[in-house]
Amino acid sequence: MRKTYVLDTNVLIQAPYALQSFEDNRIVLPLAVLEELDALKGEPGERGANARQAIRYLETLRQSGSLIEGVPLPGGGELRLEVNCVAVRLPDGFPDSKNDNRILKVCLGIREREKPLILVTRDIVARLKAQMLGISAEDFTTEQAPVSAEQYSGRCEVFVPEKKFAEFKKKQISPEDVYQTDENGERLPVELVPNQFVILRADQSARKTQLGRFNGKKIVPLAFHKLSPYGVKPRSVGQKFLQEALMAGSEDAPLVIVKGMAGTAKTFYALAVGLHAMMELPEPAYRRILISRPNAQFDEDIGFLPGDEAEKIAPLLRPAIDNLELLVDQNEAERFSDERSLSGKVEELFSRGIIAAQALNFIRGRSVTRTYLIIDEAQNLTPKQAKGIITRAGQGTKIILLGDPQQIDNPLLDERTNGLSYAAEKMKGSPLCWQITMLPEECERSPLARDAAGRM
């Protein structure tokens, strides 16, 4: 059965290709959407670029027929602009002046003759209003990752025969030799994903464990778990997996995606391995460590802020500075006895060009080469922004996306639609992407942080 989808402006602003995502169904664009696109087309940055892209596509469709009467879409569907429904009455408290309400009027005006009708909007409040009016409403799901509990964690536990377990350090294990069990104890085969980390348990003595990684063909032992990059030792299984992913060279692991709650040492470990690669190897593995985060505006103009670029984004990079202070002086008893000296050590890393901070809008359109690129708080990226960052990787660059999908500040994103979760789902199985999700019990910030993670 063909459906009618009424699209809100925010769908096209987030995903300008959305008109091509509804198969053979009917798409209706209210006039209010066209007016909002027109108002946004001059904006700098991604919102303006997406508005212009959507308008250009509408112009292409206009040339094929009348948008008022409806034009065919490449996927077999149909698109039309709806300019009527002006006289449709809304309940008191829904002022006609708001564009959201004008879109709802269109839904009310055409739903009787075009069933089933669904409003597609990324605005939660608009979906609540639609429900109040008896209108079906959905989020735009094309870019959605699975719910949090079903998202790929980058790790799994398996059983392995005792003999092969004993030989693991010298001989690789075939994926056919490992298994899991159901609630009845029956053996189940395991489907491993390339670069998935594996906790191996001896099937005759399950307390014995070893750690490995599936390289796409065999389960191999970890290569870096005994090292201490920049003096940091892993304190949990998750940190051993994290260290393995971060220390693998850019030719083997050019993209690392790390998810997990605050306090699991994501940023701390990423910086420690970056400093190790820059300062402790005979030859630096990268030209520099580059740090950024989406709150520094991927593509918005930051020119109105005082100071140069580094000064403008410095407040947003304070978490990275805090971690650097822990790394440059690992003597906990003396670390903060001389704040000026501690600050000087961190500033030296920036002045020598070992570490640089940059707003994400300056990364767009560039090819970033031989750079250890850390994107902190990546859960606030949109899927398009995540793609824009990953596709900037040049030769010798390693990109690390860090974040907690449960802590999102962008009002149009959630744990399923943010760029971090989207990238993790799309890059799952890539031989060039290593992923790991840190567990709440692996929180290392403080006993209080660990206890709160389990309780709150």
The sheet with strand 197-202 has its strands ordered as: 187-189, 179-181, 155-160, 197-202, 205-214, 219-221
Write out pLDDT tens, residues 281-326.
Answer: 999 999 999 999 886 444 444 554 555 555 656 666 778 888 888 8
Give the percent of the chain with pLDDT over 90.
Answer: 59
Distance from first CA to last CA of the chain, Å, rounded?
44
Give the tokens for residue 107.
């839904």
- pTM summary value: 0.79
Q: What backbone phi and psi angles, to 5 degrees, belong to 240? A: -65, -40
How many C-beta atoms lie closer than 10 Å to residue 42's C-beta?
Answer: 9
How far is it, in rounded angstroms, from Cα 117 to Cα 3?
6
What's the Cα-to-Cα distance from 447 to each of 87, 333, 371, rounded to whole Å?
Answer: 61, 18, 35
How many other C-beta atoms lie within 10 A of the C-beta of residue 449? 15
Question: In this structure, what token pair is assigned to residue 72?
Answer: 């065919």
Residue 338, C-beta contacts closer than 8 angstroms, at least 6 positions apart: none
Mean pLDDT of 172-199: 93
Distance CA 367, CA 61 (A): 33
Q: What is the average pLDDT across 143-156?
A: 82
CA distance 274 to 232: 12
Mean local confidence (pLDDT), 49-75? 93
The pair of structure tokens assigned to 434 is 């290593």
DSSP states along 251-302: TT-SEEEEE--TTS-HHHHHHHHHHHHHHTSSS-SSSEEEEE-GGG-SSS--
Per residue in 391-418, pLDDT (tens digit) is: 888 899 999 999 999 888 887 788 888 9
All structural domains of the chain: 4-138 (3.40.50.1010), 144-221 (2.30.130), 227-455 (3.40.50.300)
Pair 188, 176: CB distance under 8 Å: no
Beta strands 136-138 and 187-189 are unpaired
Residue 253 · residue 397 · CB < 8 Å: no
Apex CA 5: angle with CA 4 and CA 10, to 5°?
A: 165
Concatenating the DSSP letter of every residue in 137-189 gives EE---TTPPPPGGGS--SEEEEEE-HHHHHTTTTS-B-GGG-EEE-TT--EEE
Q: Say if CB 291 and CB 313 are below 8 A apart.
A: no
Q: Using an 8 Å Cβ cutoff, are 329 and 342 in contact? A: yes
pLDDT in tens, 207-257: 889 999 999 999 999 999 999 999 999 999 999 999 999 999 999 999 999
- Categorize the per-residue pLDDT at 149 as very low, low, confident or very high, splitting at 50, 70 and 90: confident
Q: What is the mean pLDDT of residues 143-162?
A: 86
Mean pLDDT (whole number) for 71-91: 90
CA distances 15 to 7, 140, 367, Å, are 12, 9, 23
The pLDDT assigned to 297 comes to 44
